[in-house]
Amino acid sequence: MSVVLAASLWGTGGVLGTLLAQRDGIPPASIAMWRMLIAGLALSAWLLARRALALRALDRPMAIRILATGSLTAVFEVLYFTGIALAGVGLATLVAIGSAPVWVALWDWWRRGDRPAGRRVLALVLAVAGLVTLLGSSLSVADGAALGVLIALVTGATFAGVTVVNREPVPGLGAARLTALSFAAGGVLLVPVALVLGWGAPSGAASWGLATALGIASTALAYVLYLGGLRTVPPFVATIVSMLEPLVAAILAAIVFSERLGWTGIAGGLALGAAIVLLRPQRDEPESIH
């Protein structure tokens, strides 16, 4: 359930980011930077208020996990927006999110000799088909589509990396603490990137309100739920469930921006829902087949 909630919260990020860009003309790299900085700093402040941060208690495994998660997430954010700029929203989202479970499966097969159960493979096929149907009307071939698709594939691999790295928790490093410190670090790493690719900042109370909602709800809370959910949900399953993000984004876009969802969008949403139903835990089902 926590992974489903995380994907749903991620779906609000597209609407909030679009509203922020429309109001102040903030470039994508700066939006990625602000969402990570706000997420990391807000969550760190909350943990400090609860006296649950304790930076001095960090050991080497904790520091490595924090830096790995923060760096991979920062790279994911920049690559995702770059892929969108080159290949368009629909195609870049389809390739990036749709490829993530495949990257996880390939990693597990190469490193662990595992392959996902047949029911989970069927869920992946259903989810990708639903994603294609949902995003079909927004798929277009831009001038830089080939390079954009390649970047989107690397984006999917990066998100898979975040998922696989956090497959096993580090003792003493909870999901909230990990998210707070890794996103603060990732946001700092994105400052020079934003300076090079396009700098911008919210102006006015309304814009800062949007940025705060993007950082706290769509990012901090979402990743706390996702990283916490990885303790009980296999990475392959988690990346399939994350495909709910564009469905939630499409529904919100239809409400906020009056975009037409259409029957194809509804059919895609139903296929994604069916995939999630297939992923429900079954008694005595192993995580993978050797």
pLDDT per residue rounded down to tens, the chain (290 residues): 799 999 999 888 877 887 888 899 888 889 899 999 999 999 999 988 877 666 667 889 999 999 999 999 999 988 887 887 777 666 777 788 888 999 999 999 888 888 878 888 888 888 888 888 877 665 555 566 788 889 989 999 999 999 999 999 999 888 999 999 999 999 999 999 999 988 999 999 999 999 999 999 999 999 999 999 998 899 989 998 888 887 887 787 777 767 666 777 788 888 888 888 887 765 545 444 43
Give the pLDDT of residue 55.
63
Give the pLDDT of residue 160.
95
Do 9 and 241 form a contact (C-beta atoms < 8 A)?
no
Q: Tell me the backbone φ, ψ of residue 143, rounded to 5 degrees.
A: -60, -35
Do 116 and 260 form a contact (C-beta atoms < 8 A)?
no
Give the pLDDT of residue 280.
75
Give the pLDDT of residue 48.
87
Torsion of CA 108, 226, 160, 34, to 10 degrees: -160
Cα dihedral across residues 36, 39, 42, 48: positive or negative? negative
Give the pLDDT of residue 257.
65
Give the pLDDT of residue 247.
80
